[in-house]
Amino acid sequence: MKIAVLGTGSAGRALAGRLAELGHTVSLGTRDPDVTRARPEHTDLPGVRLATFADAASGAEVVVNATNGAATLDVLAAVGEENLAGTVLVDVANPLDFSAGFPPSLSVKDTDSLGEQVQRAFPVARVVKSLNTMNAALMVHPERIGGGDHTVFVAGDDADAKAVVTGLLTELGHTDVLDLGGLSAARGTEMLLPLWLRIMQALGTAEFQIKVVR
């Protein structure tokens, strides 16, 4: 599958690298590839093509938004509506607002969500909210804790798009994919973040996950 991952932070790099290992054709989108390559911490990921946001997404069947929430709408504008038409747009971002320090507040919540904002801004895309409730390492290697027995959520208004995402999650090793229904359920998964951050502080690690026991 031809996949574009937007954002070169820990989530974007983890997803791009692992999806390429799994055999997908992966482009990693960034604002300016030359600037990204010039960063001291930058290393190329095997099999991943670094490109501008628009170039990365051009022709992709799946676009993964792994940018930070504050940048998301600007980045998708840089991708361009023409490159998002018909794509499965996996939104893994969270609307964290660090303007008042840590812990962050949420810039959108309760009666709206970042996932819904993205869908309204780009109705041509088929947005699926997923993977925003765990750290980057567990997104791509869920077996790192608890034998992989924990839960990943999907929410979206397009059932076919959710099936594509569920397939990719299964490839990544996720064994408990819980479909929460329409995209408005992104309000719920994004609002987990304040609790997630408190748990991280209490445990002293981001290597934990949520399991829905039933």
Q: Is residue 120 close enough to count as binding a copy of itself by CB under 8 A?
A: no
8 Å CB contact between 136 and 170: no
Please classify residue 102 by burial: count the beta carbons closer than 10 Å to its beta carbon, then call 0-12 exposed, 13-18 middle and 19+ buried.
exposed
Structure token pair of residue 157: 């208004």
Footprint of a copy of itself on 126-185 (CB under 8 A): 145-146, 149-150, 153, 155, 178-181, 185
d(CA 70, CA 80): 18
User: CB 191 → a copy of itself: shortest distance, Å?
Assistant: 5
Q: Is residue 188 close enough to count as binding a copy of itself by CB under 8 A?
A: yes
Task: Give whichever of 6 and 93 is closer to a copy of itself, judged by the CB atom.
Answer: 93
Q: Is residue 196 close enough to count as binding a copy of itself by CB under 8 A?
A: yes
User: Rounded to 5 degrees, what are φ and ψ at 9?
Assistant: -75, -170
- SS3 (DSSP) at 19: helix
Which candidate, 40, 35, 65, 64, places its Cα nearest to that of 51? 35
Task: Give whichever of 24 and 174 is closer to a copy of itself, judged by the CB atom.
Answer: 174
The only residue of 10, 52, 68, 105 in contact with a copy of itself, by rule CB under 8 A: 105
Task: Give whichever of 43 and 111 is closer to a copy of itself, judged by the CB atom.
Answer: 111
Q: Is residue 41 close enough to count as binding a copy of itself by CB under 8 A?
A: no
Please classify residue 193 by burial: count the beta carbons closer than 10 Å to its beta carbon, then call 0-12 exposed, 13-18 middle and 19+ buried.
buried
User: CB 187 → a copy of itself: shortest distance, Å?
Assistant: 5
User: CB 163 → a copy of itself: shortest distance, Å?
Assistant: 16
8 Å CB contact between 167 and 173: no
Structure token pair of residue 105: 């507040």
Applying CB under 8 A, the residues found at the interface with a copy of itself are 105-106, 109-111, 145-146, 149-150, 153, 155, 178-181, 185, 187-189, 191-192, 194-199, 201-203, 205, 207-214
